Amino acid sequence: MTKKIKEIAIYGKGGIGKSTTTSNISAALSDAGYNVMQVGCDPKSDSTNTLTGGKSIPTVLDSLRKGRGALKVEDVIFEGFNGIHCVEAGGPEPGVGCAGRGIITAVEFLKQENVYEEYSPDIVLYDVLGDVVCGGFAMPIREGVADQVYTVSSADFMAIYAANNLFKGIKKYSTGGGALFSGLIANSITFGAQKEILEDFTKQTKSTIAGFVPRSLTVTQAELSGKTTIEASPDSEQADVYRKLAKDIYNNKEEYVPSPLESDELKDWAESWSDKLLDLKKQEEGDFKI
Amino acid sequence: MSKDEKEHIDESSSPRIVEAPRYGCTLSGAYEAAVGLNEGVPILHSGSGCGMSQLFGANYGGAQNAPGDYGGSSTPCSCLVEEHVIFGGEDKLRKLIDSTIKISTGEFFTVISGCVPSLIGDDVDAIVSEFRDKAPIIHVNAPGFKGNSFEGYELFFEALADQYLTPSSEKQKNLINILGIVPYQHIFWKGELKAIKDLLARLDIEANVLFGEFDTVEKIQKIPSAAYNIILSPWIGHRAAKKIEDKFETPFLSFPGIPIGPIQTTKFLRKLAEILPIDKTKLEELITSEERRAYRQIEYAGDILQFDVPNVYFGVVADSNTAISVSRYLTDEVGQLPDIIIVTDNPPKEYRENILKELTGSEEIGFTPDIVFEIDSYKIGQILKDRPFLNLYASSLESVIKDELETTHVTVSFPSYNRVVLGDNYVGYDGGSSLIEDLFYDKAGPL
């Protein structure tokens, strides 16, 4: 009997740290003894770079281009840090073609080729460009792909905006058996106010926070050397943060449909925080900086 | 008007499902224009099905016509597949245009972008520009979803004006362009255009009809030199005319359809004589002799028209051009009574009032027919039931229910799968007689 594979999709606005977070979760889970696969679903194709020593790997779409019939699964699955199976969907050059269709094609290929049966991972993490700009980027949350969705977000408005859009996508597909939401990963948290903003956002959208990841130089250093924090600084505090996050995510059973805010509601909510921040700034001048 | 606003259907914004509309998508209209040119080569940048469906939908539907050397199953097509959707199809298109120009004996090339390149944003204009010094070529950006065949026809002319035509130093006073007749979509297009051209030639006016003509490139290049654009449709070709007016300062004059029979033809010629250098004496001589001849000719049908059913009710299911011209001829000249007219080409709302006015402008009868704008063939079939008409001028889609409707059927509009039309048409002084001939084709028998 085929074992139940945990498949989760991690979305986040470009540059928000979702690949860093995902790769560290993968590394932590792998360290803990799980068989992990990470699938980068971003045409930039750099999701797994820190798992492969900073090197880019050939993508599913690059290989498909060379001839669908000739493509073997082993051409697109590469072993990264601690035996993590790394896959990059790939995509077109910026400004041409349709990256969304690329994601659909790549994910379909992996499903059709029974990759998961063959490699038998305990967990598959899809690292997805999080603006959900079209149906292609919603592919991992449709029925039959991921079970749980997380979003990486900072307290910046545009990151929250992207998270809110993701909630809309989840809500849309939820009626057809699509993936459900399991929590927001609060990233780059430095100040108390940032934490409060995200907590308030999850309250407004009837969602939850899966974990907080503080901003840290250790992460930057590790990335510059082409590694995850787990690999580069296993004894650091930040590595512990990722280990805890990975464990929480693996054990997280929460799955629900969040309640996205309408654009006007989101705007009003953001404005209310703008006022609060100004007050805070006045109160904590010198301590709190925007 | 007897029918209210709810029948003014704007299909482009309507979510409803429609059975067998009588036109194709935007790409279809651009393709019809491209292959309507003799030695015109359409190059489709689309999936392969987009081309094949034109063969069965547009060409065979357009009165069982084969599209010639460069259309149908011979259409060069980039046949886009998943790889091109993801990575873009520009490179394949470049190779396709290059090889087409090299091996084709065609004269004018029309690259037509379908849904896929428009969705993924292929820069087709840039690719086509690479070939401008190698052959006469334009790009019509015609994603199917943008509208219907008539939109494609307008886009074809807009592309011509923007990309190919150059202003002429002088307008040729006796030269006019004819717009508003869409190849294949108006099933009598070849005959109609030739008949218009021949009629005007008798008054020393040169009608540049483009489609179905030889020396295609030369004819296209003459467009900006024309003194006028003459539109033979209450709405199709109007955008094209406005574009040419903006670019080349060519004024336009619009007629509700092709002129059928003496009344419409004489009115058409007199109107043209107001703006074109037509010799008035010559015109009146032509009118007098042609009307005399045409009316004598139709007298031969006088008995059968009376023996059949005098002042018979008739119905029409056709595009606006055809609906207006046919209805008015039968009403004004034959004494038949319009019972219902169904307009099937989905004219934009702003043109509908004028279409209604043209359809109901006859002073020959003291009532107006029911007029319905409808594009759904099932609904059209339902609307036609239990009505008093005994003759129906419609498309081949209605021919299959003619027994049920207990009517005589004449195919005059798209699609025409049951009638081959090569040069047939109803234009001019003899046009009405031809229509009556067709009406009695299988009615006058049996022995």
With vertex at residue B235, the alpha carbon angle to CA B232 and CA B238, rounded to the nearest 5 degrees, is 80
Distance from CA of B317 to the nearest CA of A (A): 41
Phi, psi values for residue A44, rounded to 5°: -65, -25
Check CB contact under 8 Å for A97 and B120.
Answer: yes
Give the dihedral of Cα atoms B350, B353, B356, B360; nearest 10 deg: -150
Determine if residue A18 is labeled as part of a ligand binding site. yes
How far is residue A128's CA from residue A151's CA, in Å, rounded to a whole number? 9
CA-wise closest residue to B346 among B3, B6, B20, B9: B9
Residue A286 pLDDT grade (very low, low, confident, very high; cuts 50, 70, 90) = low
Q: How far is CA B338 from CA B191, B385, B415, in A?
A: 26, 15, 22
Per-residue model confidence as pLDDT tens digits over B51-83:
999 999 999 999 999 998 899 999 999 999 999
Q: Return the pLDDT at A142.
A: 80
Which structural domains are found in chain A, ordered by start? 6-262 (3.40.50.300)
Q: What is the set of domains in chain B, with CATH numbers?
A: 26-163 (3.40.50.1980), 172-274 (3.40.50.1980), 293-439 (3.40.50.1980)
A55 is catalytic: no
Question: Touching check for A91 and chain B: CB below 8 Å?
Answer: yes
Arithmetic mean of pLDDT, B184-213: 98
Of the CA atoms within 13 Å of residue B275, those in its CB half-sphere come to 17
Contact call for B87 and A105, based on CB within 8 A: no
Task: Given the residues A6, A13, A31, A147, select the one marked as catalytic.
Answer: A13
Alpha helices in A120-227 (DSSP H): 157-174, 192-204, 217-224
Q: In this predicted structure, what is the pLDDT of residue B4?
A: 47
Q: Which of the following is catalytic: A46, A75, A122, A131? A: A131
Per-chain mean pLDDT for chain A:
90
Q: Reply yes or no on whether A289 is catalytic.
A: no
Own/partner long-range contacts of B396-404 (Cβ < 8 Å, ≥24 apart): B397/B20, B397/B22, B398/B317
Catalytic site includes residue A13: yes
Q: Nearest to residue B311, comparing CAs of B278, B333, B290? A: B333
Q: Compute the nearest-CA separation of B85 from chain A (Å).
A: 6
pLDDT at B327 over 50: yes
Report the C-alpha gap between B121 and A198 in whole angstroms. 37
Q: Strand B370-373's sheet: what is its strand order?
A: B370-373, B337-343, B313-318, B391-394, B408-411
Closest residue in A to B117 (Cα–Cα): A97
pLDDT of residue A284: 65
pLDDT for A4: 81
Task: Determine contact, residues A106/A61, Cβ cutoff 8 Å.
Answer: yes
**Closest CA in chain B for residue A101:** B86
Structural tokens at position A54: 């900073």
- Is residue B445's pLDDT more than 80? no
Amino acid occupying residue B214:
F
Distance set, CA A79 to CA A25, A86, A91, B263 (Å) = 16, 6, 21, 84
Q: Is the pLDDT of residue A156 over 70?
A: yes
> If you compute the radius of gyration of chain A from its CA atoms, what whole number of angstroms results?
19
Taking 90 as the threshold, does the pLDDT of residue B362 lie above it? no
- Rounded mean pLDDT, A162-191: 91
Q: What whole-number distance in Å separates Cα of residue B225 and Cα of residue B165?
A: 10
Q: Comparing A93-102, A254-263, B271-280, B410-419, which segment has the lowest mean pLDDT?
A: A93-102
Which residue has 């065609």 as its token pair? B106
Is A97 close to B119, i.e. CB distance below 8 A?
Answer: no
For B237-293, the pLDDT digits (tens) are 999 999 999 999 999 999 999 999 999 999 999 999 999 999 999 999 999 999 999
In B266-423, the DSSP E strands lie at 313-318, 337-343, 370-373, 391-394, 408-411
**Cα–Cα distances in angstroms (integers) from residue B135 to residues A161, A180, A209, B130, B386, in the given order:** 50, 56, 63, 10, 57
Q: Is A19 annotated as a binding residue?
A: yes
CA dihedral (B327, B330, B331, B333) positive or negative: positive
Based on the residue annotation, tell me whether A18 is a catalytic residue of this protein: yes
> Do the Cβ atoms of A99 and B122 come within 8 Å?
no
Q: Is the pLDDT of residue A1 over 50?
A: no
How crowded is the C-beta side of A9, counted as CA atoms within 13 Å?
A: 32
User: How far is the C-alpha of A49 from the C-alpha of B341, rounded, in Å?
Assistant: 68
Task: Residue window 61-90, chain A: list those with CB within 8 Å of chain B.
Answer: 61, 64-65
| Joined tokens for residue B221 | 């290049």
User: Which amino acid is it at A197?
Assistant: I
Q: A97 CB near a chain B CB, below 8 Å? A: yes
What one-letter code names the amino acid at A92? Answer: P
What's the CA gap between B319 and B412, in Å, rounded?
A: 9
Share of chain A above pLDDT 90, in %: 67
Nearest-CA distance from A67 to chain B in Å?
Answer: 10
Cβ–Cβ of A92/B84 closer than 8 Å? Answer: no
Instruction: State in Å, rounded, how far the first CA of chain A is from the last one.
Output: 54
CB-nearest to A65 from B87, B119, B121 is: B87
